[in-house]
Structure 1
Amino acid sequence: MKLISRDVYDIDPEKDISFKFDIIILKDVIEHIYHQDKFIPLLKGFLNPGGQIFFSFPPWYMPFGGHQQTCNSKILSKLPYYHLLPMPLYKGILSLLGESEGIIKGLEEVKDTGISIERFERIVKQSKLIISERRF
């Protein structure tokens, strides 16, 4: 096994790695990645012919699409949809109910990178990838 610790955007799969993958698994990952419209098409270069990419993620507009279940507050960890509020109000609620700066920063990043089903499908289509199966 070879471990490559680099920014994925700095890797040229044709030059920098001597192998490709039959499957790439991104379970609960894509909603944490900035520039998804750049990242998803980049993955094609890491695949063998006929290879597939598995994506699984909580859609942004779902009750807990903002990962707020990770809050320490029992109230906030069970409260749905408030991640959809404007950022200043969202951060204010998190702070008011005692969330640490680390938790707030993490949730702020998820708010910046959260992805809806519609946006995901649009990026996949623009990347000339095919969705072979969908499950909700």
Structure 2
Amino acid sequence: MTKAPYEEVHTCIQNITYADTYANFIPAALRLIKEKEGTLNLDFLKGWTVPKAQAWLEKLPGVGPKISAYVLNTSRLRMPALIVDTHHWRVAKLLGLINHDTPFEKAASCFERQIPNTWTAKDREDHHFMIKQIGLDFCKDGDLLPFVSAFIS
């Protein structure tokens, strides 16, 4: 995959958001991992803290807080990082879990202070997908009224 042509990578990821961009980032990130570590394996991150591992991953092309958390949390590393995407961020603001002026880049750290330390990687993954699904199913134009109405009526 480190030498895969753009078209081949794009075909594999064509259903994700920003596939055009990530088709370039993925091989570049994989090449950097191989250059730095000698292998395409992230097991060396196992003994690191989540913030330190995320910081290392976020130096790779195309990797920000969401991708780094996703890699740590859902890979075989199973490091408990909270995945926050725009749906999650929007629902959290509407529910008052974070302030309305909280920038997206700070949302994950706000959540981390609120969730129990005992939550595993799986718990954090479930939390992400449940909140994201609420955003997808019920949030329309920044309004949670359809979600709240479902419980009131």
| TM superposition score normalised by structure 1 | 0.23
More strand by share: 1
Bigger relative contact order, structure 1 or 2, given CA contacts below 8 A and separation 6+? 1
